[in-house]
């Protein structure tokens, strides 16, 4: 049986176990300690927090609702996890972001374990550092969307397959790892739908076509694997379809095929849409991309199964797949980053320390440019983004730049001494500190897209019987911070399916709102500034409670 190729590690580059555990504890403290600082913002954070909160309030664990309406755009798993988090930690920002934070941290662990199993202990450490220091993994682990949860399950599926199919795997190892792979694909499907099958399946087909290897298809444990997959993934889809006859067509046809093939979701972008996201998101490792391609294209003659080739194909497919989609959002390519971290692990083990120094130039230049731009923050101010909110954000960016540049300079010196692992650890730590600090500083700007301060001003005016409206405008975090739903007026967007099922729950015309407003004793409403001016001209009685560049909140006097 072939032995795996494990590049030799320098003895002085293998830290003692207590230092490794101390590093993991420090990572966990920074990673989880920063989850609850910022207010939830519009649209994604408010939307997904509201769905999970409403699930907990209703005790309806089958059918997701957004602001009281049926909401079937995404599967159920993250809503379950969000509701459970609220139940355990209380209703707060930490609980709302706990699932993406946890899945991001587990993704780092997954690549560390896989790197160790494939190429040895030092590769496992490099994989963990590469992932933990990657900007896009850090950012998406601290922002409430579905993509970090999806990325964890896809990463576990990828890692399970790599471990199962390596040449030296025993029959028991192969079976257990493949069972894990099938279970992880079920988790990915419950997180975001058919993409949980498409990405692994297409990657394997492309791997077979490019390497002309087909034997692993017989080692997939198809029967037991499919039983695991359907036992985990199918029950919710069957149950929600039986209860809601329109679910299948809306979820599978509209939210998958129509969204991918058409611009119905209004999230279009050029074919190069994800290029700048990849460049910035992979910092501080961006300039390693050409080297990673070379690593992935290498054929290891002593091995039959080629894990490096599979990792490269996975990364390229994710990037191309979402680039040709008619619906694009920045976080869609996130599942390629853990695979790149594993390729980096192999590269770091083999590369000469001195050669890594030049790869520090781009991230250092990036943070230096941001630091140099801080004194000119006033030039970026506008009515929608006043200087009062930009200044604290700029100060946080300046601190973030220093938190990266100082460790980067120390890493430069360590690389000159051949201390590769210590240098990579410093770079990763500096990146984590910098991105986290900049993210925390974003809260001053983020308040413009959050209803936290709005609701704090509005609450003293609310009565138990107050009806709250959202007129021609909807901010996703508004119901979350109110802890109650609002009545939509002349607003549809993603509520079209739910409004069609329950038309009595909303008001298609502003005239219906004004009549209702005059008829009830207590009411409040959020709207845009233009809508407020129009209603003022109509003589609608309104008392201004809150106003900023984006929205107005009024109560009935």
Give the pLDDT score at 301: 81
> Omega into 345 within 30° of 0, i.e. cis?
no
Q: Mean pLDDT of successive 10-residue segments in the chain (557 residues)?
A: 48 72 95 96 96 97 96 95 98 98 98 96 96 98 97 98 94 96 98 95 96 92 97 97 88 76 71 95 97 92 90 98 91 97 97 94 97 92 86 95 98 95 97 97 91 96 95 96 97 92 95 96 95 95 92 95
User: Tokens at residue 250, please?
Assistant: 């809306």
Element (H, E) at 353: helix 353-356
364 by DSSP, 3-state: which?
helix
User: Tokens at residue 128, please?
Assistant: 């963990």
End-to-end Cα, the chain, rounded Å: 82
Give the pLDDT score at 252: 82
Q: Are strands 467-471 and 523-527 parallel, antiparallel or unpaired?
A: parallel
Rounded to an integer, what distance in angstroms lies between the CA atom of residue 353 and that of residue 12? 13
Place of tokens 């355990």: 88
Asked whether the beta carbons of 326 and 263 are under 8 A apart, the reply is yes
Give the pLDDT score at 159: 98
Give the pLDDT score at 18: 86
Count other C-beta atoms under 10 Å from residue 5's C-beta.
Answer: 15
Tally of residues, the chain: 557
Closest CA to 347 of 404, 317, 318, 308: 308
Rounded to an integer, what distance in angstroms lies between the CA atom of residue 322 and that of residue 315? 11
> Omega into 43 within 30° of 0, i.e. cis?
yes
Confidence (pTM): 0.94
* CA dihedral sign, ordered 438, 441, 445, 446: positive
In degrees and rounded to multiples of 5, residue 467 shows phi and psi of -95, 135
């Amino acid at each position: 049986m072939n032995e795996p190729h494990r590049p030799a590690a320098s003895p002085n580059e293998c830290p003692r176990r207590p230092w490794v555990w101390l590093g993991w504890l420090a990572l966990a403290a920074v990673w989880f300690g920063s989850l609850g600082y910022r207010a939830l913002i519009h649209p994604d954070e408010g939307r997904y927090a509201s769905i999970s909160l409403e699930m907990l309030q209703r005790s309806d664990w089958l059918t997701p609702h957004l602001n009281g309406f049926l909401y079937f755009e995404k599967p159920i798993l993250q809503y379950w996890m969000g509701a459970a988090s609220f139940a355990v930690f209380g209703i707060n920002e930490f609980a709302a972001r706990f699932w993406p934070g946890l899945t991001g941290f587990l993704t780092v662990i997954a690549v560390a374990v896989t790197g160790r199993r494939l190429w040895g202990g030092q590769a496992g450490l490099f994989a963990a550092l590469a992932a933990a220091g990657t900007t896009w993994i850090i950012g998406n682990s601290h922002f409430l969307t579905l993509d970090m949860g999806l990325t964890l399950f896809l990463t576990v599926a990828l890692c399970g397959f790599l471990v199962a199919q390596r040449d030296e795997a025993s029959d028991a190892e192969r079976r257990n790892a493949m069972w894990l792979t099938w279970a992880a694909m079920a988790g990915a499907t419950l997180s975001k739908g058919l993409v949980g099958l498409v990405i692994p399946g297409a990657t394997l087909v492309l791997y077979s076509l490019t390497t002309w290897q087909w034997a692993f298809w017989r080692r997939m444990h198809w029967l037991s694997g499919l039983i695991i997959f359907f036992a985990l993934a199918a029950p919710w889809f069957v149950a929600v379809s039986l209860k809601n006859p329109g679910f299948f067509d809306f979820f599978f046809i509209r939210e998958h095929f129509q969204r991918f093939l058409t611009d119905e979701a209004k999230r279009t972008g050029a074919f190069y849409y994800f290029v700048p996201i990849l460049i910035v998101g992979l910092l501080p490792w961006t300039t390693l991309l050409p080297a990673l391609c070379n690593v992935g294209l290498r054929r290891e003659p002593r091995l039959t199964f080629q894990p490096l080739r599979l990792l490269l194909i996975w990364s390229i497919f994710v990037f191309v797949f979402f680039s040709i989609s008619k619906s694009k959002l920045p976080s869609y390519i996130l599942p390629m980053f853990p695979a790149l971290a594993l390729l980096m692990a192999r590269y770091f083990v083999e590369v000469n320390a001195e050669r890594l120094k030049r790869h520090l130039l781009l991230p250092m230049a990036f943070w230096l440019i941001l630091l140099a731009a801080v004194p000119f923050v006033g030039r970026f101010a506008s009515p929608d983004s006043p200087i009062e909110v930009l200044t604290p954000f700029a100060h946080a960016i300046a601190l973030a730049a220093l938190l990266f540049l100082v460790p980067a300079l120390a890493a430069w010196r360590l690389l000159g001494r051949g201390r590769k692992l210590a240098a990579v650890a410093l770079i990763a730590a500096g990146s984590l500190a910098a991105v986290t600090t900049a993210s925390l500083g974003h809260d001053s700007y983020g308040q413009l897209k959050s209803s936290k301060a709005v609701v704090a001003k509005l609450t003293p005016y609310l009565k138990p019987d107050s009806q709250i409206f959202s007129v021609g405008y909807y901010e996703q975090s508004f119901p979350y911070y109110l802890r109650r739903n609002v009545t939509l007026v002349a607003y549809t967007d993603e509520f079209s399916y739910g409004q069609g099922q329950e038309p009595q729950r909303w008001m298609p015309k502003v005239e219906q709102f004004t009549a209702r407003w005059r008829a009830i004793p207590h009411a409040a409403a959020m709207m845009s500034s233009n809508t407020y001016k129009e209603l003022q001209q109509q003589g609608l009685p309104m008392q201004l409670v809150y106003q900023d560049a984006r929205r107005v909140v009024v109560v009935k006097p």
